[in-house]
Amino acid sequence: MLRKMFPLILLAMVIPALVVAGIHQNPKTTVSNFPMISGSEPTLNAPSSPVSYPIPAIDEVNEIIGDTFRLGITWYENQHNGTCGRMNTLDPDGWRQFSWMKAEESGAINRHIWWNGIDPNGTQVFPGTGVAVESSNRGGFVNMDVYNNGAALPTYHQTPTQGGVNFTAVSADLVPHAGAFLDFLAPASPAPNVIIWPRMQLSQNQTLHIVSTENSPTAGNAQQQFYLPATYNPGTLSVTYGAWTLMDWTQTIAADVNTSPVAGSNKTVWAWTRSREYAIPDPTLTYTQLNNDIHYLIDLDGQNPDFSQAVNLTNFIPPDLSLLPDTARANRDTLRAYTDVNCFIDHNNYVHLTFTTRSYFSIEGTSYWNASLIWHWSEQFPDTFSIIGDTSYYGYHDNIDCGAWNVIAQRPSLGEDAAGNLYCMYQVYDTDTLHLTVAPNFWPSGEIYMSVSTDGGMHWAMGTNVTNTRTRRDALPGQSLSELTPTMAKKVDTYCHIQYTLDTDAGNILQTEGAWTESNIKYHRVPVSLIPTTPLAPNIPLHVAPLSGTNPEPQPVQAPNAFALKQNYPNPFNPSTAITFTLDAVSTITLDVYNTRGQMVTNVVEGTYGPGEHTVNFDAVNLPSGVYFCKLTSGQRTAQQKMVLMK
């Protein structure tokens, strides 16, 4: 069952202010523990701002950029509780395929996964309706990818029997593009509680990479995240599952996974949020659920990933209590990763991550209500964090509640066109006080924005509102349109292919925000020619600058006898370089070099080595200039580093 992953926040009604790293202002919100959802259906009254405003004399006209099409309906507007993953795709045959969670009626007593497809000529398989994917007692929270023959593989969780436990499951379209599905239950959970809310993508070798999160029964407790590989055989119409592997512990349903589009490469990336409040998580303790970093793991072949080798991407600088009573300086970084992250691998095989941050003041235990930033990072420019979405663009109002577990700018989703341009779709709440729903809650409407980068993600154009859904002041249920839980296909052609719920009463009914209404599932195609490439969004630092007169922030030091692969030296190199690795025990290892297509180009060394540090020489005299990856393997443990050969 869905758990209460949405916050209760005590709001101080004061003048809004945007918080970025290095700029410290008085916090506006006291952070309390975010209750989980328990029981058959969630019930929570999120905080609101009951203030009267005048009703505008004239409604504004919607000015949608691109075209929209109805795929089907749902009474369950919130499709995900954080990271949305991928619910739609543009497949190699030119078909657009979509999946969603459909509640059949008010109250969502009957809830199932539905599918629809659009052929290359623009004809829907099931015009405006779709078809049910599974016939379990209850299904929900779907992600989807397609097999190499075009067959859709929706991945979701379901309750096979009434009152029973939830299982992760995969369905397969038995005839590509037909909408005739057979479902396959995954193995039972190894966790004390069920693990659900899956995200899934297929690699080039057609491995299904699934990540799911434990449904913790207690508010604010640490939850386990698990990885599950699977394979689909269209000949025997069967799905074969591997074993669940513990990835990490988390407190948000934010994990994502993505795979390489490069032929012959099975490179895979996973990313998630991890609380900074525990070194060893204790499921019996309560944490704030705001104090998070982004962690990620890249594996070149996508097989037997070793999540102990994950990298802390954000590594926010903790408070320095020696600087008290000057809390502005003592807080150090005042950004933290929030509840969503999106993974992507481009056609040059570089990993990209986008994620959302909100403010967090560790010493005071407080946060601004709505201030949020959407960031981009890539393997190609590993020392650069660039801004995609910044709430200061949108004239936001910090005292307008966006609803449980929402901030103004959130839910990023990346795609790429054939020219290598990157596109990011994301959601923004319109907190203009003249565009809010009826009292007493005054919920804002969600909008869909698009941004583009023409330089690999180093710089992004300021976002363009492509839905322009202006809710009139005091709109009643059925009249308040709001785009929620958007997702975008990875492949961009002359269009960006977007899917979202067009809610007809802003707010999240699962948290008793707004009313139960029937909502459309929309396909929105946005011509790339209508997405402006300028002006560029200004970049800001992710971290505070080192304090004047003090030493730089200390960096983690690798234990001398740990399993690790150090950065080669020199790097870049021509034509030889030294590669150093350390082992924690006598180990049989291989040290191999791969190109950016994921192909092994040479074996450097192979054999048994003792514990401690070892250095070998790598001569690339016979290789062309370019980017390479060095991978150390011992059993199921791997470590890797990027190398640049410049001749």
Q: Quote the pLDDT of residue 219.
A: 67
Average pLDDT estimate for 220-230: 92
pLDDT at 561: 59
pLDDT band at 612 (very low <50, low <70, confident <90, very high): confident
CATH level 2 (architecture), domain 67-530: 6 Propeller (2.120)
- Kindly state the average pLDDT of the residues 403-427: 95
**What secondary structure does DSSP assign to 467-516, as a single string?**
S---PPTTBPTTT--EEEEEEE-SB-SSEEEEEEEEESSSS-GGGT-S--
Q: How confident is the model at residue 234 (pLDDT cuts 50, 70, 90)?
A: very high
| pLDDT for res 489 | 98
Looking at the DSSP bridge assignments, the partners of residue 641 are 630
pLDDT on residue 548: 56
pLDDT band at 1 (very low <50, low <70, confident <90, very high): very low
Nearest-angstrom CA–CA distance, 158 and 154:
12
Q: Where are the domains of the chain?
A: 67-530, 564-645
CB contact at 8 A, 508 and 45: no
Average pLDDT over residues 296-307: 94
- Residue in the structure block whose two tokens are 């994921």: 598
What's the token pair of residue 135? 């016939």
Please, which pLDDT band fits residue 25 given cuts at 50, 70 and 90?
A: very low
pLDDT in tens, 438-462: 888 889 999 999 999 999 999 999 9
Q: Tell me which amino acid residue 627 is.
A: V
Tokens coding 132: 């049910």
DSSP assignments along 238-280, one per residue = EEEE---EEEEEESSS--EEEE--STT---EEEEEEEETT-SS
- 3-class state of residue 198 by DSSP: strand
Binned at pLDDT 50, 70 and 90, residue 40 comes out as: very low
Q: Which of 483, 517, 559, 371 is nearest to 76 (CA)?
A: 517
Q: How confident is the model at residue 161 (pLDDT cuts 50, 70, 90)?
A: confident
Mean pLDDT of the chain: 85
Looking at 3.65.10.10, 2.60.40.10, 1.10.490.10, 2.60.40.3080, the CATH number of the domain 564-645 comes to 2.60.40.3080
Averaged pLDDT, 587-608: 89
Longest dimension (CA), the chain: 79
Mean per-residue pLDDT for 244-270? Answer: 95
pLDDT band at residue 47 under the 50/70/90 scheme? very low
Q: Higher-confidence residue: 390 or 34? A: 390
Task: Determine the residue type at 148.
Answer: N
Under 8 Å CB-to-CB from 302, ≥6 apart: which residues?
203, 205, 207, 209, 259, 266, 267, 268
Quickly state the pLDDT bin for 550 (edges 50, 70, 90): very low
Contact residues for 421 (Cβ-Cβ < 8 A; gap 6+): 452, 453, 454, 492, 528
Mean pLDDT in residue range 270-280:
91
The pLDDT score that the predictor gives to residue 44 is 29
Of all residues in the chain, the percent with pLDDT exceeding 70 is 88
Cα 512 to Cα 364: distance, rounded to the nearest angstrom: 30
Give residue 366's pLDDT band: very low, low, confident or very high (50, 70, 90): confident
Q: Specify the DSSP element, H or E, that contains 88.
A: strand 88-90
Task: Report the alpha-carbon distance of residue 217 to residue 230 in Å, rounded.
Answer: 28
